[in-house]
Amino acid sequence: MKAFFYTLLLIASSIVVASAGNFHRDFDITWGDGRGKILNSGRQLTLSLDKTSGSGFQSRNEYLFGKIDMQLKLVPGNSAGTVTAYYLSSQGPTHDEIDFEFLGNVSGQPYTLHTNVFSHGKGGREQQFRLWFDPTTDFHTYSILWNPKRIIFSVDATPIREFKNWESIGIPFPKSQPMKLYSSLWNADDWATQGGRVKADWSKAPFTASYRNFNANACVVAKGKSSCSSNSASASASRTANSAWLRQELDNASQARMKWVQKNFMIYNYCTDAKRFPQGLPKECTAMTS
């Protein structure tokens, strides 16, 4: 059975996003003083980090629900102390956020994939994973599916985490604040690698991460109006197969693959950290197992 699921993961790892955006059209490099670069006529983007500064970019569009895909190739070699962040976020003290963060490693050691969900300014919902491949030798697809019922994190089309809408038991869920897509490469050697015990080796700088094949099948919000609203000219598109993600959930096969990943590659789950929550685990943790 284990070998069977591993085979599925290898097959899924070969899946490539069919349609790609253009970085010149879809994104702005927002900081880094030239350390972020758009290449190959907008088909690729790189971010770099040295001892002076990192770099970052953000989407021009804001989204309220969507299926977001991006292919990343992470910093190779000794990337200790670096963090490559790729996330959706709104702004303000009660912001919503959906995070992928890749915590750098010592050469030969695995990356840590850190995930988190913020709702109305409250986070603390971390799950961490090792990856079943080397994310520095080739591009791999990291996806966020966000609809009114759930958030699904996927790697090469393999779901690794699901966060459901538990508003029925008083848990806030991101559903009203449009979010932009952000990414950054920055120095976090005070905590990123082995709790900050391993610092960045600046003799290896610049550290560089690469991006390609961005795709957003999503509801775009502009001037307060969503492209998926009932009075929008594109509303009919929300009833087509192209927006099936608005109702998408994990089928039995996908749930089995996610459970296999969590059993074999999850290294931290806030819902099992009783020491962190001496007054009791968060309510959604109980709901997930009931």
CB 109 within 8 A of CB 55: no
Q: Positive or negative, the Cα torsion across 171, 174, 177, 181?
A: positive
- Here the tokens at position 281 are 């685990």
Sign of CA dihedral 89, 90, 93, 98: negative
* CA neighbor of 269 nearest in space, from 154, 143, 124, 134: 124
Joined tokens for residue 66: 């969507």
Residue-level pLDDT at 290: 60
Q: What is the pLDDT of residue 13?
A: 40
From the candidates 62, 101, 162, 284, give the one annotated as an active-site residue: 101
CATH 2.30.290.10 assigned to domain 2-289? The reply is no
Q: What is the pLDDT along the chain (290 residues), one digit of tens a residue?
A: 555 444 444 434 433 333 457 999 999 999 999 999 999 999 999 999 999 999 999 999 999 999 999 999 999 999 988 999 999 999 999 999 999 999 988 877 889 999 999 999 999 999 999 999 999 999 999 999 999 999 999 999 999 999 999 999 999 999 999 999 999 999 988 766 777 777 888 999 999 999 999 999 999 999 888 888 754 444 444 444 467 898 999 999 999 999 999 999 999 999 999 999 999 999 999 887 76
The number of CA neighbours under 13 Å toward the Cβ of 39 is 12
Q: Which one of 97, 162, 167, 249 is the catalytic residue?
A: 97
What residue ranges do the domains of the chain occupy? 2-289
The count of other CB atoms within 10 Å of the CB of residue 165 is: 17
Is residue 97 annotated as a catalytic residue, yes or no? yes
In this structure, the number of other CB atoms found within 10 A of the CB of residue 40 comes to 9
**162 is annotated as an active-site residue:** no
CB atoms within 10 A of CB 128: 17
User: What pLDDT sits at residue 175?
Assistant: 95
In contact, 77 and 145? CB cutoff 8 Å: no
Helix ranges (DSSP H) in 153-248: none
